[in-house]
Chain A
Amino acid sequence: MSVKDNTENGPPQTVPIQSETFSNPINAEIRRAAATGIYDIRGGGAKRRVPHFDDLLFLGASVSRYPLEGYRERCDTKVTLGTRFAKKPIELDIPITIAGMSFGALSGRAKEALGRGASAAGTSTTTGDGGMTPEERGHSSKLVYQYLPSRYGMNPDDLRKADAIEIVVGQGAKPGGGGMLLGQKISDRVAEMRNLPKGIDQRSACRHPDWTGPDDLEIKILELREITAWEKPIYVKVGGTRPYYDTALAVKAGADVVVLDGMQGGTAATQDVFIEHVGLPTLACIRPAVQALQDLGVHREVQLIVSGGIRTGADVAKAMALGADAVAVGTAALIALGDNDPRWESEYQKLGTTTGAYDDWHEGMDPAGITTQDPELQLRLDPVDAGRRLRNYLNVMTLEAQTIARACGHNDLHNLEPEDLCALTMEAAAMARVPLAGTEWWPGKSGSGF
């Protein structure tokens, strides 16, 4: 019986049919826009469904490959970043780093917790727009200092205190866009660090003030190396847009490390339309970037860090199998600290949202006390406990990735390879350049005739 042929209450009638195009969420947004005249601003990354690591599977060992014993046999996780030019590369125990998130967007206690958790797990954390705080430096055994277009808080002393420098060209949530920290999060301390009045909306520029293009970038990197005596690894972070060319140009400019952030990567605040409609899914970024490194003969010499939607050890293993040297987590780290935790459900509901959907990070009213500068809300986050949760989470992800690697017969996470993977969908097969499950074929494979 057709859904239109409803005969239960009399003559056949047409039942109401919701439009796939004009769905209830779309219609609600149209009404909201019509009522307010302003676009929607939110935090986080893309929420739409895009091809992702879930669309890949590991094949595991078989007759042609033998596995390593799951708990006892060695499977190395260490990674060294910055081996190309830096005198003092960063050595990490695990290939999972904490992505750049600013003091200002996050509370000082949240930044401290990130430092504590990362340090306990043997990995690095990263500053963000707004500069380096003493508590962040003090609690981070390895700290990457972001060099951003705004240059808020930038100074040579902190540059020299850092363990690495990350030149941020863009980020996955908003490649080509700047940022904004709304006035309600501009406390006295945030204002002082950024040389701006308290309470005003602070704009972060979309491009650097003193260089444009890859030829200039090469000279900027030279300057930063000279200031820091060629000691610090220099990363170049790009949003996922043209990963082959961006990676190649970063290498040409002299980067030690390329950080590639897909559209699922989060932001503290930008327009929803930007988050959902600009940039590439993380899965689509990795193989072109690795191809660029291989074409230039620097794969593994210039390390690749991938971020944007990394949640589990399986995601870590898949990113590394596709050629990444390490990954970075941002949103997942905040969730480990306590972001969007069900314990705050009643307060999320007062804010018109619910657990798991809270993304008004820019408004500074985070019930979990993480994305806020409110003095009372901040106290809800215990940096010691939160740091412990983050350490546990990082450890679990590492153990999960090791489990998969051993099952595939590898004694180092970096030995994972595309041949360990298959894809569940045509799209994922094309993006990851691994065979569709049960076949030897993927769209675009040379000689495939497709």
Chain B
Amino acid sequence: MQTYDLEAEGLRGLNASLHAQSEQTSQTNWEVVNPKGSHAIAVGLDAPIEVSVQGSTGYYCAGMNKQATVHVKGSVGPGVAENMMSGLVKVDGDASQYAGATGHGGLLVIKGNASSRCGISMKGIDIVVHGNIGHMSAFMAQSGNLVVCGDAGDALGDSIYEARLFVRGSVKSLGADCVEKEMRPEHIELLRDLLARAESDAKPEEFKRYGSARQLYNFNIDNAY
């Protein structure tokens, strides 16, 4: 286990050390202490390493992650795991705005709640939120899966493309072109796998599925307002 004191040694040294790890590294376990809300912790990683952050972070923790597992033992600021490509990012606490924004792959697990615009413009990432999510989540979501074990706020899935949204609780309102869809057996299986990987004991059968009505896919003046 490598321990890195962020307060004492600085952000550049941390990210440089993590970037220096390769596929074959033997230093696979890293612990970051004293994060104290710092921004851009463990961004741009590209190696099969595990990074444990002992506390809460600021903006963009684990941004553009590839391969790595980043576990935040606290809450995260805006844009956690933004544009993630692969790997796993797990947050024990809550997440601020834009969690998993534009993510292309990998799994983001938020044990607490996520604020507004969770999964905005997501492009293949899987996101599982154990709690609730805020308004405008999954705005322009292109692909991937957003699983919400609690409730969703206003305008869920506005202008959504092909992403799948699964919500166990209530949805305050659906955004433009987002509709409830049939929950088929393949969706139950998909959800069962995601919930298991996210360490949630929720039952897939308790969820409703939402997705695109595909009415905005080609420009129509009657849809403009």
Tell me if A226 and B121 are in contact (CB < 8 A).
no
Q: Cα distance A203–B79 when bound, in Å?
A: 22
Contacts of B101 in A (CB 8 A): 209-210
Do A155 and B85 form a contact, CB below 8 Å, given A37-B221, A229-B19?
yes
> Which of A150, A200, A216, A223 counts the most chain B CB atoms within 10 A?
A223
Contacts of B221 in A (CB 8 A): 37-39
Q: Cα distance A441–B171 when bound, in Å?
A: 64
Q: Mark A169-210, 1 if CB is under 8 A from B, else 0.
A: 000000000001011000000000011110011010100011
Do A151 and B39 form a contact, CB below 8 Å, given A156-B85, A209-B98, A209-B101?
no
Q: Is B34 an interface residue (CB 8 A)?
A: no
Q: Mark A36-74, 1 if CB is under 8 A from B, else 0.
A: 011100000000000000000000000000000000000
Q: Cα distance A200–B177 when bound, in Å?
A: 14
Q: Cα distance A196–B124 when bound, in Å?
A: 10
Q: Is A107 an interface residue (CB 8 A)?
A: no
Q: Is A228 an interface residue (CB 8 A)?
A: yes
Tell me if B79 and A211 are in contact (CB < 8 A).
yes
Shortest Cβ distance from B202 into chain A, in angstroms? Answer: 27
> Which of A151, A210, A219, A230 counts the most chain B CB atoms within 10 A?
A210
Contacts of A196 in B (CB 8 A): 142, 161-162
Contacts of A273 in B (CB 8 A): none
Tell me if A210 and B79 are in contact (CB < 8 A).
yes
Tell me if B162 and A223 are in contact (CB < 8 A).
no
Q: Which of chain B's residues has its CB closest to A227's CB?
A: B44
Q: Cα distance A122–B145 when bound, in Å?
A: 45
Shortest Cβ distance from B197 into chain A, in angstroms? Answer: 22
Q: Is A436 an interface residue (CB 8 A)?
A: no
Do A183 and B218 form a contact, CB below 8 Å, given A154-B83, A155-B85, A195-B104?
yes
Q: Is A357 an interface residue (CB 8 A)?
A: no
> Which of A151, A205, A209, A220 counts the most chain B CB atoms within 10 A?
A209
Tell me if B98 and A195 are in contact (CB < 8 A).
no
Q: Cα distance A196–B142 when bound, in Å?
A: 6
Tell me if B59 and A219 are in contact (CB < 8 A).
yes
Contacts of A229 in B (CB 8 A): 15-16, 19
Q: Cα distance A226–B97 when bound, in Å?
A: 21
Q: Is A159 an interface residue (CB 8 A)?
A: yes
Q: Mark B72-109, 1 if CB is under 8 A from A, else 0.
A: 00000011001101000000000001100110100000
Tell me if B120 and A209 are in contact (CB < 8 A).
yes
Tell me if A209 and B102 are in contact (CB < 8 A).
yes
Do A151 and B102 form a contact, CB below 8 Å, given A195-B143, A229-B16?
yes
Tell me if A223 and B63 are in contact (CB < 8 A).
yes
Tell me if B123 and A226 are in contact (CB < 8 A).
no
Tell me if B60 and A223 are in contact (CB < 8 A).
yes
Do A226 and B43 form a contact, CB below 8 Å, given A201-B219, A205-B140?
yes
Q: Is B71 an interface residue (CB 8 A)?
A: no
Do A201 and B218 form a contact, CB below 8 Å, given A209-B102, A210-B82, A219-B39?
yes
Of residues 127 to 152 in A, which have CB atoms within 8 Å of B's CB atoms? 150-151
Partner of A156, one of B66, B97, B139, B219: B66
Q: Cα distance A220–B27 when bound, in Å?
A: 29
Tell me if A227 and B140 are in contact (CB < 8 A).
no
Q: Is B58 an interface residue (CB 8 A)?
A: yes
Q: Mark A155-169, 1 if CB is under 8 A from B, else 0.
A: 110010000000000
Partner of B78, one of A38, A39, A159, A210: A210
Of residues 15 to 50 in B, which have CB atoms within 8 Å of A's CB atoms? 15-16, 19, 39-40, 43-44, 46
How many residues on chain A are close to B (CB under 8 Å)?
33
Shortest Cβ distance from B105 into chain A, in angstroms? Answer: 10
Q: Cα distance A134–B98 when bound, in Å?
A: 30
Q: Mark B188-225, 1 if CB is under 8 A from A, else 0.
A: 00000000000000000000000000000111010000
Tell me if A151 and B83 are in contact (CB < 8 A).
yes
Tell me if A219 and B121 are in contact (CB < 8 A).
no
Do A226 and B143 form a contact, CB below 8 Å, given A182-B219, A197-B161, A210-B79?
no
Q: Which of chain A's residues has its CB closest to B16's CB?
A: A229
> Which of A151, A155, A229 counts the most chain B CB atoms within 10 A?
A151
Q: Is A351 an interface residue (CB 8 A)?
A: no
Q: Cα distance A211–B121 when bound, in Å?
A: 13
Contacts of A37 in B (CB 8 A): 221
Do A159 and B64 form a contact, CB below 8 Å, given A197-B162, A219-B40, A227-B43?
yes
Contacts of B66 in A (CB 8 A): 156
Shortest Cβ distance from A401 into chain B, in angstroms? Answer: 39
Q: Which of chain A's residues has its CB closest to B221's CB?
A: A38
Q: Which of chain A's residues has its CB closest to B63's CB?
A: A223
Tell me if A205 and B161 are in contact (CB < 8 A).
no
Do A223 and B39 form a contact, CB below 8 Å, given A38-B221, A183-B218, A201-B217?
yes
Tell me if B12 and A230 are in contact (CB < 8 A).
yes
Q: Is B179 an interface residue (CB 8 A)?
A: no
Tell me if B60 and A219 are in contact (CB < 8 A).
yes
Q: Is A30 an interface residue (CB 8 A)?
A: no
Q: Cα distance A242–B19 when bound, in Å?
A: 39
Q: Mark A225-246, 1 if CB is under 8 A from B, else 0.
A: 0111110000000000000000
Q: Is A298 an interface residue (CB 8 A)?
A: no
Contacts of B121 in A (CB 8 A): 150-151, 205, 209
Q: Which of chain A's residues has its CB closest to B84's CB?
A: A156
Q: Cα distance A211–B104 when bound, in Å?
A: 18
Q: Which of chain A's residues has its CB closest to B79's CB?
A: A210
Tell me if A155 and B102 are in contact (CB < 8 A).
no
Partner of A209, one of B19, B58, B117, B124: B117
Name 19 A/B residue pairs within 8 A (Cβ), A-sorted: A37-B221, A38-B221, A151-B102, A159-B64, A183-B217, A183-B218, A195-B142, A196-B161, A196-B162, A210-B79, A211-B79, A216-B59, A219-B60, A223-B43, A223-B63, A227-B44, A227-B64, A228-B44, A229-B16
Top 4 A-B pairs ranked by shortest CB distance? A227-B44, A210-B98, A151-B102, A210-B79
Q: 14 extra interchain contacts, Cβ-Cβ under 8 A, other than A195-B142, A209-B98, A209-B102?
A: A39-B221, A151-B102, A182-B219, A196-B161, A200-B217, A209-B121, A210-B97, A223-B40, A223-B63, A226-B12, A226-B43, A227-B15, A227-B44, A227-B63
